[in-house]
Amino acid sequence: IITTGANLYHDTHFGIGLSLHQGSTAISDVVLRGEEVVRIYDIFFDYSVLLDTDEFFRRVIEGEEFQRPMSTAEFHSLCGKYVLERGRKLGLEDKSFLAAAYEYGVPLYTSSPGDSSIGMNVAAKALQGNKLAFDPSLDVNETASIVLAAKRGAIHGKGDKGKKHGGKSAVFILGGGSPKNFMLQTEPQIQEVLGIDERGHDYFLQITDARPDTGGLSGATPGEAVSWGKVDPDRLPDAVVCYVDSTIALPVMTSYALARHEPRELKRLYERRGELMDLLNEEYRKSKRR
């Protein structure tokens, strides 16, 4: 999963037992500011929710395991462990996808880790000598290694590492922005930068409310992605873009998937990052682009 730091920060409110409420967008934001109430469209919460969540992350990243550079996937896994522990102490269950990702071994990446309250608190702790730092190169290479392993058939343990085009990869996009590009750029990283033989993602499914004609990333079509090598041109007819609010589409699709398919064995890709990076390094060593 590639998401924004804001999604993970606000998800943590639920995981540590803080309250958010639905309200009217017609209310004066000047009044809300005076009453120390924060608004995200029609979601409202006390300013203290921000302060309590800030304090949670500051306390967590003081731990010895955080005192070094790391990928955002490792950072989020460590944080997810503490969110899960706090939720269990409070008797909460299934409240946080940050905690769920840790529990099920799903790597969570953030393409712009400084662009959120989590990153702001990491920066504040750096002023006090904290050694935590995010390594964007690890994020770029780890995400590329996951896609390459999928294409080589190695995600399910099928085939050997040298097998060419033994599997498929798919991208499922809710919204867009920086996480969308970070997911799609895995193929240009493999082909253009590392010089590894590949053709692009096989499946492209996007839920968005953004128009393509403004030139913005969120509305960019799968056809445009083909020109970059991000999507396999032979699979373009299978690509789907649905212009609808993702909070409408995702519950419907989730319900369909749960009703029509048995649960699959967990891949636990987070624990396999080293193995998948070995595959990427092996193919890069054979590349003429080095």
The verdict on residue 290 lying in a domain is no
Considering the domain architecture, whether residues 212 and 122 belong to the same structural domain is answered as no
Which of 131-145, 159-173, 207-221 shows the lowest per-residue confidence on average (mean pLDDT)? 159-173
Q: Are residues 94 and 159 in the same domain?
A: no
Domain end residue (candidates: 85, 108, 132): 132
Same domain, 180 and 240: yes
Residues 89 and 171 in one domain: no
Report the relative pairing of strands 43-46 and 37-40 from DSSP bridges: antiparallel
Considering the domain architecture, whether residues 101 and 172 belong to the same structural domain is answered as no
120 with 149, same domain: the answer is no
H helix intervals, 152-260:
177-184, 186-188, 222-227, 246-260
Residue at a domain's end among 132, 159, 177:
132
51 and 96 together in one domain? yes
Same domain, 14 and 112: yes
Q: Are residues 80 and 171 in the same domain?
A: no
The per-residue b/e assignment along 9-27, b for 16 or more CB within 10 angstroms, e otherwise, is bbbbbbbbebeeeeeeeee
Q: What pLDDT is stored for residue 192 in this prediction?
A: 95
Among candidate residues 81, 180, 230, 286, the one labeled active-site is 230
Which residues share a beta bridge with 39?
Answer: 44
User: How many beta carbons lie within 10 A of that of residue 265, not counting itself?
Assistant: 7
Q: 142 and 280 in contact (C-beta within 8 Å)? A: no
230 flagged as catalytic: yes
Alpha helices (H) along 185-228: 186-188, 222-227
Range of the domain at 234: 137-285
- 280 and 185 together in one domain: yes
pLDDT digits over 157-176, tens only?
Answer: 444 444 445 799 999 999 98
This prediction has a pTM of 0.92
Please give the pLDDT value at position 161: 47
Whether the CB-CB separation of 185 and 146 falls below 8 Å is answered with no
Is the residue at 209 inside a domain? yes
pLDDT average, residue stretch 40-44: 95
Q: How many domains does the chain divide into?
A: 2
pLDDT at 214: 86
* Mean pLDDT, residues 107-127: 97
Domain boundary among 132, 159, 190: 132
